[in-house]
Structure 1
């Protein structure tokens, strides 16, 4: 109830120039969020995603470098939406002091993603990611094409892959466009 009230107040203060992509709560259906680990390439990392006791999305697990592994991600695909009125994504997150990537695709059939790295502090943060700063990459390699400039969005994702073995935890409250 309190989190729902907070959400209403946030939307009120954000005004009509914002679009909520995902707002987690205790009754949120997260079945569309999918884990993709390095096991798809023979690695041994193990990520999970659940709702925690506060009703936030919790992306957590362990990164392994065995068998050339080293990453875990959680992805949310949806029907394409028009984002031409927005210039950035805003994340309300609480990390563990590690670096993560936020990723987007403008089409689910696209083989590459547009990426922006961000650091976490261990405290709640509001991270603003301008679309124009998101660079294209595939399998860890930057591509020689322009940064994100699409007017559509079809997937968002979080990825951790810092080239070291580590446990991780990223708590996600909201993801919205401005």
Structure 2
């Protein structure tokens, strides 16, 4: 395993930016902060004005994950469905490869996301003709909630690691 993102690292919370549905007229809010070495992605989603999503993206950094079999997240969730998003230059601006996960509410869990679980999406719609995710071309990582539900959300993330060797 290789540690990709460690929320105990100095300056890590300053590397994340909120991008919420306000960019299209919505009123959801969300952001990321840290407490005791844990990244806390939290806020409130609203379906007003055709909104319904909140997200954060880490500052761009090149990741070559071609030797990894998967990504592993260590999370404490609230029962809502989240997305881990990977951005590459393979897709148009705003599009990403996403994998969805729904941790059980109230307990720490290890979530494993295999590469075949990532699909190319743009504004919530799957891109049918997108190339496969190039693991050596990942430029940015993000978290999103877009589960078509209103209300408060909170996802605690202690770290994100690679898992094993690609086969």
- Same-fold call, TM > 0.5? yes
The separation in 1 between residues aligned to 2:4 and 2:60, in whole angstroms, is: 10
User: How far did 1:152 drift?
Assistant: 2.3
The separation in 1 between residues aligned to 2:123 and 2:96, in whole angstroms, is: 9
User: How far did 1:132 drift?
Assistant: 2.3
Find 1:130's aligned residue among 86, 111, 114: 114
User: How far did 1:153 drift?
Assistant: 1.5
SS of residue in 1 equivalent to 2:158: strand
The separation in 2 between residues aligned to 1:26 and 1:149, in whole angstroms, is: 27
SS of residue in 2 equivalent to 1:30: helix
CA contact (8 A) 1:132 1:149 kept: no
Matches within 5 A, 1:64-75: 64-75=46-57
Q: Which has the larger radius of gyration?
A: 1
Find 1:78's aligned residue among 26, 46, 60: 60
Indicate the residue corresponding to 1:87 in structure 2: 69
Q: Specify whether residues 108 and 20 from structure 1 end up closer, same or farther in structure 2 by C-alpha distance, changes over 3 A only.
A: farther
Aligned residue pairs, count:
160
Q: Specify whether residues 107 and 143 from structure 1 end up closer, same or farther in structure 2 by C-alpha distance, changes over 3 A only.
A: same
User: How far did 1:133 drift?
Assistant: 1.8
- Relative contact order higher in (CA < 8 Å, ≥ 6 apart): 2
User: How far did 1:151 drift?
Assistant: 2.1
String of CA shifts for 1:27-53, please: whole Å, max 9, x gaps.
Answer: 44311101110000010001021112x
Find 1:49's aligned residue among 17, 22, 32: 32
TM-score by length of 2: 0.88
SS of residue in 1 equivalent to 2:78: coil
Bigger mean CA offset, 126-135 vs 21-30: 21-30
CA RMSD between the two structures? 1.8
Q: Specify whether residues 19 and 106 from structure 1 end up closer, same or farther in structure 2 by C-alpha distance, changes over 3 A only.
A: farther
Indicate the residue corresponding to 1:3 in structure 2: none
Gaps of 5+ in 2: none
